Amino acid sequence: MLTEINFDGLIGPSHNYAGLSPGNLAATRNRGATSQPRAAALQGLAKMRHNLRLGLPQGIFMPLPRPDHRWLDSLSTDYPAAPDHLKAQALSASSMWAANAATVSPAPDTADGRCHLTVANLMTMPHRSHEWPDTLAQLRIAFADPAFAVHAPVPAPFGDEGAANHMRLCASHDAPGVEIFVYGVSGGPFPARQHREASAAVARAHRLDPARTLFVQQSEAAIAAGAFHNDVVAVANGRVLLAHQHAFADAPAFYDRLRAIMPDVEIVEVPADRVSLADAIQSYLFNAQLVTLPGGDTAIVLPEEARENAAVWAWLNDHVAGNGPIRQLKVVDVRQSMANGGGPACLRLRVVCDPQRVDPRFLLDEPRIDRLADVVERWWPDAIGPGDLNDAALIDRIRHARHAALDVMGLVELIDR
């Protein structure tokens, strides 16, 4: 009984706007603003509750230890003595964007019939490069069953940023799919974060069928415009690929290859004269959750910013009115995450598997969401400003907040990693 589970990252108590991610326009634009970690985590939990009520299975990943004292120790310093830029990098809550946690290939696609997960190395950005050991530890607990194979990261210097640059198309979630790895070569003033060599290594590790695996180059224009990951300009689910006209370096060739493998694919290309790259990136139209509802409809879970963008909202409503494959529009408020450059799709990792094979502590129902929300209300800081990173009391509160959340989920073994 394979089904798709969305595992959302719980937004951590150290959520702040340090502007650490060049190429992520929202993150750099809001650098130095005051964040609201409590509101951010509650917004994320509300999205999880919203999707659960749509009938979609929901999982969770917990915040990583912050500040990352072990990383600082490897740099021969500690938090009080570290320069401000290392403090910010050690305190980053970016693991909340679970789409970057790993790349996932479900059992129907792999030669050994197991679900394979490769933790992303995230080596391009210093503040994310030290996430993978704690993420890997969490994945190996959640997916310890023999039905899964959890892999260590692709080694440097090949950058891998996980499922944000990976799409899967299929007749149904439990049927063999076409796996699409999107990589960058150049991004104008910004780094291309996903290397083709890393994508190829992941595909080999997952034992994918080369005949049903595509490697596609992201367009330089998209990266230069602020699409630092493919999921900012394209998203796929079931038979439906939704992409901006300028998402790929050679879209016609890609579409031809895709149709040759999967003739019944439904490619929905949003024209640039209806939605510009700038509007797509500002609204995160494509950084949305494209999902199959229990009744069979394809729905898209969008941020409020998509509804507020006139061009984006007009195109979406015209698509639905024109009987396109996306039948329902669902809007959620994740403004705190959006202000740091992550929309609904950034916050989740899709895993197609048998839920009975997953450690149940990582699966959610409404009572468990209620318990987590209570912890967030009691422990998460209300606000973090740029001058607060040197506040010892805040650092202590962040540590206690994470411990309280792990305790309520029964995951105390993660307290010390």
Dihedral sign for Cα atoms in the order 299, 304, 306, 308:
positive
| Selection from 216, 210, 253 nearest residue 236 by Cα | 216
Taking residue 247's Cβ as centre, other Cβ atoms within 10 Å add up to: 27
Residues in the chain: 417
Catalytic residue among 115, 131, 319, 346: 346
> Can 346 be counted among the known catalytic residues?
yes
Q: Measure the CA angle with vertex 317, ends 45 and 54; round to 5°.
A: 30
Q: Name residues whose C-beta falls within 8 Å of residue 116's C-beta, 6 or more positions apart in sequence.
A: 104, 105, 110, 148, 149, 150, 151, 205, 206, 207
> Can 131 be counted among the known catalytic residues?
no
Burial of 119 (0-12, 13-18, 19+ CB in 10 A): buried
**Paired strand residues for 4:** 352
> Can 115 be counted among the known catalytic residues?
no
The number of angstroms, rounded, from the C-alpha of 266 to the middle of its chain's C-alpha atoms is 23
Taking residue 29's Cβ as centre, other Cβ atoms within 10 Å add up to: 13
**Paired strand residues for 348:** 8
Strand pairing report for 289-292 and 298-303: antiparallel
Catalytic residue among 229, 244, 246, 319: 229
Q: Name residues whose C-beta falls within 8 Å of residue 137's C-beta, 6 or more positions apart in sequence.
A: 414, 417
b/e map 214-238, b = 16+ CB within 10 Å:
bebbbbbbbbebbbbbbbbbbbbbb
**Paired strand residues for 208:** 110
| Selection from 15, 64, 12, 6 nearest residue 363 by Cα | 6
Q: Name residues whose C-beta falls within 8 Å of residue 375's C-beta, 6 or more positions apart in sequence.
A: 401, 404, 405, 408
Catalytic residue among 4, 161, 179, 305: 161
DSSP assignment, residue 111? T
What residue type is assigned to position 372 of the chain?
L
Return d(Cα 100, Cα 128) in angstroms, integer. Answer: 10
Name the residues annotated as catalytic.
161, 229, 346
